[in-house]
Amino acid sequence: MNDTPMKNQSPSAVQRTCWILWGAMLMGMGVFLAAAIYLNRQRTQPPNAQLAHTFFIVGIAVFFTVVPAGYFIRIQSYKKNWVHDVVTPQGYLTGNLVLWAACEGVAMMGLAFGIATGVLWPTALCSAAAIAVMVMNYPHGSPMYTSGKMLDGREFKK
C-alpha cells in the first residue's frame, strides 16, 4: 500500500504543519543554546582553547558538507514530487524536513562541541551559520502554489 496520510493533505494544512515543525526545531536549538551557556558557566575545569579550535575547523567542514547536501536532497524531493507547475505537499514537507534536520544537526554539533571544550565562541559560529540558514528557509509554501492557485485549484491568498 503506497497511500500515506500526507498524500491526502492540502497545501495549506502542510504549510501549517511546516510552520509548527520549523518553529519547534528553532525553539529546541534555543533551549540547547541556553543549556550550553548554563553548563559552561557551571564548569569547574579550565576551557580547552586548542580543542575548541580543532572542533571549529571540524564544524566548518561539516557545515559546508551537510548543509549543501540538505539543499541537494530537498531539490531531489521537490523534483520527485513535481506535478504540473507545483510541488506536492508531501514533497514540500519531506524536502524541507531534510534541510532543516541538516541545519539542526550542524547547530547542535557546534553547541555540543562548545559544551565539551568549555568555549562557545568559535564553535558557536558554525551553529549560528546553520541557524541562519534555517531561518532563511522559512516555510512560506510558494513551491506548492502557482499562478495564484493551489494544487487543489483554490485561490492562493498571500
pLDDT tens profile 31-82: 999 999 999 999 888 988 899 999 999 999 999 999 999 999 999 999 999 8
Domain total for the chain?
1
Q: Which domain does 76 fall in, by range?
A: 11-150
Q: Is residue 104 part of a domain?
A: yes
145 pLDDT exceeds 90? no
Confidence tier at 156 by pLDDT (50, 70, 90): low
Residue 107 lies in a domain: yes
Within a domain: 34: yes
pTM summary value: 0.85
- Answer whether residue 84 is part of any domain: yes
Flag whether 1 is in a domain. Answer: no
The answer to whether position 156 is within a domain reads no
The answer to whether residue 135 is domain-embedded is yes
Distances (CA, A) of 64 to 91, 108, 158: 24, 15, 34
C-alpha grid cell for residue 105? 544537526
What are 86's strand-pairing partners? Answer: 83
pLDDT tens track for 80-106: 998 888 899 999 999 999 999 999 999
Is 3 contained in some domain? Answer: no
